[in-house]
Amino acid sequence: MSRPVGLIVGTGVDGVQILSGAILSSIETPFGDVAYVRGSMAGADVCVLKRHGEGHVVPPHLINYRANIMALYMLGVERVVTTSAVGSLRESIAPGSYALMDGFLDFTKVRAQTFFEVGKVVHTDMTHPYSAVVTDVLGTEMTAMGLSLHTGEVYVAAEGPRFESPQEVRMYALMGGSVVGMTGVPEVTLAREAGLEYQTIAIVTNYAAGISASLLTHGEVLDAMAAASASLIEVLHRSLPRIAELPAGQRDHQHQLDFLLKP
């Protein structure tokens, strides 16, 4: 029996009904309760979490990333796809295009970064934080749809909720960053700790500060996400059933996170 696919949706997508037969539930994790919706997407069993909560009320630096990833782990998820609105750090990555990640740069400051704070010390390899098999499925479907797609990119995680300064944007670009967002870390690193295969569909909504000719606004981001929503939903409908059918991965039922679930 195949495992459910995890889907974490962010800005501009968290209000869209994308499942059939959806049932709203919650699960208690060691890090707090998490609400989720479980249903079917083109025949695939999918668990959807709203990253910013119902009504988009939780800012990026206060999201309970550990609870979210642990919830998916406890639900038996093995592979996770997320959506993220991002700003471009390069003129060649234009607003309206999409990007799939290969690496990240972490500039967050106040977030809980690991599951392993009590009970054991674990140093998790981050050579390949993004899943090759999930990336291949997403990339194939997005290319077939004719979308403007950039692959092998580097996600810069900023703390938020403010936008970045032009000076920060220039630094991020010089360090090899491709796009900048506020939620990709520690989401990807926690998924790696949990043994989950993870990839984010980054939707480029604007050029970052100093590259953009105008001041940045959240409304601009929402407008860009609204314009991309139909294509994005089609990507998910085409990709998630294929991801659900992939051969079982390396997740062990007696994974190293299970010690957190013992009474």
Q: Distance from CA of residue 136 to its chain's centroid?
A: 16
Query: How many whole angstroms separate alpha carbon 250 and alpha carbon 252?
Result: 6
Residue 56 gets the label, from left (phi > 0), alpha (psi -120 to 50) or beta, of left
pLDDT at 165: 96
pLDDT at 1: 54
pLDDT at 182: 97
Question: Tens digits of per-residue pLDDT, 79-92?
Answer: 999 999 999 999 99
Q: Which segments in the chain show pLDDT lower than 70?
A: 1, 14-16, 249-254, 263
pLDDT at 195: 92
pLDDT at 229: 83
pLDDT at 141: 98
Nearest residue to 187 via CA among 115, 235, 99? 115
Query: How many CB atoms neighbour CB 105 within 10 A?
Result: 18
In contact, 34 and 71? CB cutoff 8 Å: yes
pLDDT at 180: 98
pLDDT at 14: 66
Nearest residue to 224 via CA among 88, 50, 48, 108? 88
* Superfamily classification of domain 5-242: Nucleoside phosphorylase domain (3.40.50.1580)
Question: Tens digits of per-residue pLDDT, 27-63?
Answer: 999 999 999 999 999 999 999 999 999 888 999 999 9
Extended beta strands in 145-213, E state: 149-158, 179-181, 197-207
